[in-house]
C-alpha cells in the first residue's frame, strides 16, 4: 500500500507550475495558487516526517504499547518546527477565492500537526535519554495512547487536506490539457502532461487496502500508451524534451507494471525484501510501493525541469 504522502510532491510541483502573473486579469488565479501552495508547503515539509516517526515507533513497539522488555528500543523521530506552517495557513485562509471546506481542512491539519509536534519531542527526549531505564517504562506506557491518538488525528487531517488540494489541482491539470490539445494538438507537450496525469492515477489506484486490479491494469496500460505517444512525438519534434524525462517516465512505467503483477498474482515479498521494506530503504525492492514513489518523485523533478517547454 502506498502512503498518501506519495501525492505531495506531485501536487506541489503542479501548483508551482501554474503560478500566474500578477496582472489584474490574473490576480485571482495568482492568489489561488498562493493559497494552495501554502497548504502544499505544510504537507511537503511535515507529513512525511510524521509518518516516518510513526513507522519508526511501531517498528519496535507493539500495538498495545511498549513494556520495557523489548529487545531493541529505537524511539521515534521528531518533526520540523510547525510555526511557519501555522502562519502560512492562517494567511492563506484569508486569500481569495474563499473555500470554506478546504480552509477548514487546512486549519484542522495545523491543529493536528501542532499537537503532534510537541508530543513527539517529549517522547523523543524520553527515549533518546533512555529514561525508560529509570522509571521501568512508566512514561512510555503513558505516552503511548497519546501518541496513537495524535497520529490518528494527524492522518485523518492530512488525508482530508490532500484530497481537497488534489481535487482542485486535478481540475486545473485537465483544463490545461484541453487548452494544449486545442492549440497544439496531441504533440509532445500534450503527452508530457498526460504522462503526469496517468502516473498519478496509477499511484492513487494502488494506494488502497483493496486495490481494484482491473482499474490498475487499465491505468498502467494508459500510462504505457502515453509514454509511447510521447516518445514518438518527441522524436518527430527533434527530441526537445530531455532523455532525463524519458528515462524517468519509463522507470515509473516499469515499476508500475511490477507492482501491478505483485497485486494481480499475489506475489509475496521474500524475507530479504521484507527486511528492506523499512522507511528510507524500501525503494530498493523492485515492484514495491516505495520504489514506485521514488520513481514517481524523480519523474516530477524531471517534469519541473521542462515545465516551460513550448511556452
Q: What is the mean pLDDT of each run of 10 residues along the chain (311 residues)?
A: 37 32 48 91 94 93 95 95 96 93 97 98 98 97 98 96 91 92 94 95 86 95 97 92 93 96 91 77 84 92 73 39
- Output DSSP code: residue 67: -
Q: What is the DSSP string of 248-293?
A: HHHHHHHHHHHHHHHHHHTPPPPHHHHHH-STTTGGGSTT-HHHHH
Residue 255: the pLDDT is 96
The answer to whether 137 touches 67, Cβ cutoff 8 Å, is yes
Residue 240: the pLDDT is 85
Residue 262: the pLDDT is 93
Residue 12: the pLDDT is 35
Residue 25: the pLDDT is 39
Residue 209: the pLDDT is 76
Scanning the chain, the segments in alpha helix (DSSP H) are 8-17, 27-42, 48-58, 83-92, 100-128, 132-135, 138-184, 188-206, 213-236, 243-265, 271-276, 289-305
Greatest C-alpha distance within the chain: 71
* Backbone conformation region of residue 68, classed left if phi is above 0, alpha if psi is from -120 to 50, else beta: left
Residue 2: the pLDDT is 35
Place of cell 493536528: 112
d(CA 140, CA 64): 12
Residue 307: the pLDDT is 65
What's the length of the chain?
311
d(CA 262, CA 269): 9
Residue 16: the pLDDT is 31
d(CA 57, CA 151): 11
Amino acid at each position: 500500500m502506498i502512503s498518501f504522502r506519495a501525492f505531495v510532491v506531485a501536487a506541489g510541483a503542479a501548483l508551482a507550475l501554474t503560478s500566474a502573473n500578477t496582472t489584474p486579469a490574473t490576480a485571482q488565479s495568482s492568489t489561488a495558487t498562493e493559497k494552495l501552495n501554502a497548504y502544499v508547503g505544510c504537507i511537503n515539509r511535515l507529513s512525511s516526517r510524521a509518518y516516518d516517526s510513526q513507522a519508526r515507533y511501531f517498528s519496535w513497539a507493539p500495538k498495545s504499547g511498549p513494556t520495557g522488555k523489548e529487545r531493541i528500543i529505537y524511539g521515534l523521530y521528531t518533526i520540523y518546527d510547525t510555526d511557519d506552517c501555522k502562519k502560512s495557513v492562517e494567511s492563506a485562509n484569508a486569500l481569495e477565492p474563499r473555500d470554506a471546506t478546504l480552509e477548514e481542512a487546512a486549519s484542522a491539519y495545523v491543529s493536528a500537526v501542532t499537537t503532534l509536534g510537541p508530543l513527539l519531542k517529549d517522547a523523543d527526549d524520553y527515549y533518546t535519554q533512555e529514561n525508560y531505564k529509570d522509571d521501568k517504562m512508566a512514561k512510555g506506557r503513558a505516552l503511548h495512547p497519546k501518541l496513537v491518538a495524535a497520529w490518528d488525528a494527524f492522518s485523518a487531517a492530512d488525508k482530508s487536506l490532500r484530497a481537497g488540494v488534489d481535487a482542485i489541482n486535478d481540475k486545473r491539470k485537465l483544463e490545461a490539457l484541453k487548452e494544449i490539445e486545442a492549440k497544439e494538438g496531441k504533440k509532445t507537450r500534450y503527452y508530457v502532461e498526460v504522462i503526469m496525469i496517468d502516473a498519478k492515477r496509477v499511484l492513487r489506484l494502488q494506494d488502497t487496502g483493496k486495490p481494484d486490479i482491473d482499474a490498475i491494469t487499465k491505468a498502467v496500460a494508459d500510462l504505457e500508451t502515453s509514454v509511447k505517444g510521447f516518445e514518438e512525438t518527441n522524436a518527430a519534434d527533434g527530441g526537445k524534451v530531455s532523455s532525463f524525462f524519458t528515462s524517468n517516465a519509463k522507470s515509473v512505467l516499469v515499476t508500475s507494471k511490477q507492482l501491478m503483477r505483485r497485486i494481480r498474482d499475489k506475489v509475496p515479498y521474500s524475507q530479504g525484501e521484507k527486511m528492506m521494506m523499512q522507511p528510507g530503504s524500501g525503494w530498493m525492492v523492485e515492484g514495491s510501493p516505495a520504489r514506485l514513489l521514488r520513481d514517481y518523485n524523480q519523474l516530477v523533478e524531471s517534469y519541473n525541469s521542462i515545465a516551460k517547454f513550448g511556452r
